[in-house]
Chains A and B, each alone.
Chain A
């Protein structure tokens, strides 16, 4: 079982890779909409990438209002 920190770290790595941002520029508390400069459709790309990586489903309504990587990680962690 991954720890929340491991999950968060993997999310940051995947987000950096997908949106072509240096990994060291992303932190768990960052607002990913602002930091990645994405809108809702591009946020769905991130969710799809994370679902594929972790092998889970993450319904949109579970990430409603979620804007930081750490909270996103906790939603994913709850489905691992």
Chain B
């Protein structure tokens, strides 16, 4: 591994990335299941300039997880709860806004990258992890992958850009079902509603993603970038609004109460309220 921020290979506390045969591979390796808190945010902020520096050398980006449990369990709720204890409602909202502004910049950079971006997901792909996948051009899923936006269970909404990006990709019936019930769906269902491009056999998702990235790498970079901007406009206005709504909700007592219950729940099934 080199120490350069801009080149072929780097490993940080929660991530590692490498350019291989025209494809940048970004591996998430933050136990337990790639919870996205300050540590991963800082590492993603290091990755973004590295990604941008490889525009001329790479044609595709694959994001995948080295954690057995899955792609990502989403935002780091423990960190959010702990950091918010003892704060006033206004202070909580301000802290959340600062975090969200930063994570949105990362998500927007991945979304806007001229490379073809692939989320190669397995297992748990929840909340912020699902939102990271939605920032990519394609989601390729292991047949045991599971997708969920559980935020309403906590008195929150998805807030890493998930709502506008979900609305960009699928119809209202799916958006409302996922968001308003908080239920999880499997890869087959996700493909049937247009969220997932390909379903891979168990353990094969990275191989399938590499083959797909290699295909994209054959094309003219300029043409691919133009096509992507045309096919996948970024809903900036809605993304801004999502941050506002999320911060408004985080000022309410229900959000802290939801987080407290989640943190203190020692039962085997806190994800099944």
Contacts and interface: CB of A to CB of B under 8 A. Distances in A.
A39 to B, nearest CB: 5
> What 4 A-B pairs come out closest when comparing CB atoms?
A40-B269, A40-B271, A33-B268, A59-B183
B144 A48 contact: yes
Interface stretch (B97-105, B185-193, B217-225, B244-252): B185-193
A61 B181 contact: yes
B184 A44 contact: yes
A51 B269 CA distance: 19
A43 B123 CA distance: 12
A60 B268 contact: no
A interface: dominant SS: helix
B186 A43 contact: no
Contact of A49 (B73, B124, B144): B144
Interface of A: 33, 38-41, 43-45, 48-49, 51-52, 57, 59-61, 63-64
B269 A43 contact: yes
B183 A61 contact: yes
Contacts of B70: 41
Given A48-B144, A48-B146, A60-B272, A41 B124 contact: yes
14 contacts: A33-B268, A40-B268, A40-B272, A45-B123, A48-B146, A51-B186, A52-B188, A57-B189, A59-B181, A60-B182, A60-B271, A61-B183, A61-B272, A64-B273
Contacts of B27: none
Interface in B181-214: 181-186, 188-189
Contacts of A41: 33, 69-70, 73, 124, 271
Given A39-B268, A40-B268, A61-B183, A45 B144 contact: yes
Given A51-B186, A60-B183, 8 more contacts: A40-B268, A40-B270, A41-B73, A41-B124, A48-B186, A51-B188, A52-B143, A60-B184
Given A45-B123, A51-B186, A39 B181 contact: no
Contact of A33 (B143, B144, B269): B269
A38 to B, nearest CB: 7
B127 to A, nearest CB: 13
Most interface-central of A38, A49, A57, A60 (chain B CB within 10 A) = A60
Contacts of A40: 268-272
Nearest to B188: A52
Contacts of B268: 33, 38-40, 43
A34 B270 CA distance: 15
Interface in B145-168: 145-146, 148
Interface in B243-273: 268-273
A54 to B, nearest CB: 12
A44 B182 CA distance: 14
Contacts of B69: 41
